[in-house]
Structure 1
Amino acid sequence: MSADTVPDAPAEAGTLGFVMLVHDAFDRAAQVARHWADRGCPVTIHVDRKVRPRDHRPFREGLRGHPLIRFSRRVKVEWGTWSLVEATQVAAESLLAAHPEVRHVFLASGSCLPLRPVEELRAYLDAHPRTDFIESVTTEEVTWTVDGLERERFTLRFPFSWRRQRRLFDRYVELQRRLGLRRRVPAAIAPHLGSQWWCLTRQTLTAILQAPDRAEMDRYFRRVWIPDEAYFQTLARRYATSIESRSLTLAKFDVQGKPHIFYDDHLQLLERSDCFVARKIWPRAGRLYDHFLALPPGAVRPREPNPGKIDRVFSRANVRREQGRPGLVNQGRMPSPWWDGARTCAPYAVLSGFDDLYVDFEGWLARRVGGRVHGHLFHPDRAEFAGGETVAPGCIPDSAALRDYRPEQFLANLLWSTRGERQCFQFGPGDQQRIRGSLLWDRNCTLAVVSGAWAVRLFHENRDFAELRAEAARLQQVELSFLAELRAPWVKARTHVWTLADYLEGPMEKLQNVLGELTARDPRRLTEVPAMRDLDGFGRFLQTLRNQGMKPVVTGDVPVEPTEGATRSERPARPTVIR
Structure 2
Amino acid sequence: MTVGVVILVHTALDRAEQVIRHWVAGGCPVVVHVDKGVGDRTYQAFVGNLTDLENVRFSTRHRCEWGMWGLVAATQDASEMMLRAFPKVRHVYLASGSCLPLRPVKELRRYLDSRPRTDFIESATTSEVPWTVGGLDRERFTLRFPFSWRKRRFLFDAYVNFQRRIRFKRRIPDGIVPHMGSQWWCLTRQTLSAILQDPARKTYDAYFRRVWIPDESYFQTLVRLYSPNIESRSLTLSKFDFQGKPHIFYDDHLQLLRRSDCFVARKIWPHANRLYQTFLNDEVSPMKGTEPNPGKIDRIFSKAVDRRTRGRPGLYMQSRFPNRYRENGITSSPYSVFQGFSELFENYEPWLAKASGARVHGHLFDPNRVMFDGGQTHFQGALSDSASLRDYNPQMFLTNLIWNTRGERQGFQFGPMDTQPIRDVIARDHNATLAIISGAWAVTLFRSNRDFADLRQEAARLQIIENEHLNLLRSPDTKARVRIWTMADFIESPMEVLQMVVDEMSGKSGPHLTEAPRMHDLQGFGQFLQNLKNQGMHPYLMGDFPVDRNASFKAPTKRKPYLVR
- Using structure 2 for the length normalisation, give the TM-score: 0.92
Q: CA offset at residue 60 of structure 1?
A: 4.5
Change over 3 Å in CA distance of 1:74–1:387 after alignment to 2: farther
Q: Which of 213, 219, 235 is 1:226 aligned to?
A: 213
Q: What is the distance in 1 between the residues matched to 2:280 and 2:262?
A: 14
Q: Which residue, 89, 95, 99 being the options, matches 1:102? A: 89
Matched, 1:446 2:395: no
Structure 2 counterpart of 1:316: 303
1:52 Cα offset (Å): 4.4
What residue is the counterpart of 1:76 in the other structure? 63
Aligned with 1:190 (options 162, 177, 191): 177
Partner SS state of residue 137, structure 1: coil
Q: CA deviation at 1:501?
A: 1.7
1:223-257 deviation digits (Å, cap 9, x = unpaired): 11111111011111222232111100111222222
2:315 corresponds to 1:328? yes
Any unmatched runs of 5+ in structure 1? 1-13, 567-579
Distance 2:465 2:295 in 1: 56
Question: In structure 1, what is the Cα distance between the partners aligned to 2:511 and 2:326?
Answer: 37
Equivalents in 1 of 2:389, 2:285: separation in Å?
61
Between stretches 213-222 and 89-98, larger displacement belongs to: 89-98
CA distance in 2, matches of 1:375, 1:294: 65
Alpha-carbon distance, 1:347 to partner: 0.9
Match of 2:251 among 241, 253, 264: 264
Q: How many Å separate the matches in 1 of 2:194 and 2:410?
A: 69
Match of 1:502 in 2: 489
CA distance in 2, matches of 1:84, 1:398: 62
Q: 1:365 to 1:57 in 2, by over 3 A?
A: farther
Partner of 1:251: 238
> Does structure 1 retain, via aligned residues, the 8 Å contact 2:314–2:332?
yes
TM-score (norm 1): 0.90
Matched AA of 1:26: L
Contact preservation (8 Å) 1:255, 1:318: yes
CA distances 1:428-481 after superposition (whole Å, capped 9, x unpaired): 112221111111111111111112211111222223333333322222221111
1:392 maps onto 2:379 in alignment: yes
Inter-partner Cα distance in structure 2 for 1:67 and 1:378: 78
Aligned residues: 553
Shift of 1:422: 0.8
What is the identity, as a one-letter code, of the residue corresponding to 1:455? A
Q: Deviations over 1:523-544 (max 9, x none)?
A: 4321221111121122222222
Aligned counterpart for 1:339 among listed residues 326, 329, 336: 326
The equivalent of 2:556 in structure 1 is none
1:282 partnered with 2:269: yes
Q: Does structure 1 residue 217 correspond to structure 2 residue 199?
A: no
Change in Cα spacing, 1:329 to 1:24, as seen in structure 2 (3 Å) is farther
Task: Report the residue type matching 1:246 in the other structure.
Answer: R
Residues 63-94 of structure 1 show CA distances to partners (whole Å, capped at 9, x for unaligned) of: 44433334333222221111221122222233
Q: Is 1:145 aligned to residue 100 of structure 2? A: no
* Secondary structure at the counterpart of residue 491 of structure 2: helix
What one-letter code is carried by the residue in structure 2 that aligns with 1:264?
D
What is the CA RMSD across the aligned residues, in angstroms?
2.2
Alignment of 1:169-208 (within 5 A): 169-208=156-195
1:352 paired to 2:339: yes
1:485 aligned partner, one-letter code: L
Match for residue 238 of structure 1? Answer: 225
- Distance 1:446-1:201 versus aligned 2 partners, 3 A rule: same
- 2:469 maps to which residue? 482
One-letter amino acid of the structure 1 residue matched with residue 209 of structure 2: R
Q: Which residue of 2 aligns with 1:383?
A: 370
Match in the other structure for 2:513: 526
Report Cα offsets for 1:248-294 as digits up to 9, x if no partner.
01112222222222233322222221111111223333332222222
Give the whole-Å Cα distance in 2 for the aligned partners of 1:44 and 1:387: 75
CA–CA distance in structure 1, aligned partners of residues 534 and 284 of structure 2: 96
Give the equivalent residue in structure 2 for 1:404. 391
Give the secondary-structure state (helix, strand or coil) at the position aligned to 2:22: helix
SS of the equivalent of 2:338 reads strand
**Which residue is 1:544 aligned to?**
531
2:351 matches 1:364? yes
What is the CA–CA distance in structure 2 between the aligned matches of 1:56 and 1:358, rounded to whole Å? 84
Quote how far apart the aligned CAs of 1:565 are.
Answer: 7.3
User: Would the aligned equivalents of 1:133 and 1:245 in 2 still touch at CA under 8 Å?
Assistant: yes
Question: Partners in 1 of 2:452 and 2:45 — Cα distance?
Answer: 89
Is 2:102 aligned against 1:115? yes
- Structure 1 residue 106: Cα displacement: 1.1
Structure 2 residue aligned with 1:301, among 288, 302, 305? 288
Distance of aligned partners of 1:124 and 1:447 in 2 relative to their CA distance in 1, 3 Å threshold: same
Residue 561 of structure 2 corresponds to: none
Q: Secondary structure at the match of 1:46?
A: strand
Contact 2:180 / 2:220 at 8 angstroms: preserved in 1?
yes
**CA displacement at 1:369 relative to structure 2:** 1.4
Shift of 1:58: 5.3
Tell me, what secondary structure is at the counterpart of 1:477? Answer: helix
Task: Please tell me whether the aligned partners of residues 5 and 93 of structure 2 are also in contact (alpha carbons under 8 angstroms).
Answer: yes
Q: In structure 2, what residue type is equivalent to 1:394?
A: G
| Structure 2 counterpart of 1:21, one-letter code | L
Unaligned runs of 5+ in 2: 554-565
Q: Find the residue that maps to 1:192 and give its secondary structure.
A: coil
CA 1:169/1:389 → structure 2, altered by over 3 Å: closer, same or farther?
Answer: same
1:28 — aligned with what?
15
**Which residue number in structure 2 is paired with residue 42 of structure 1?**
29
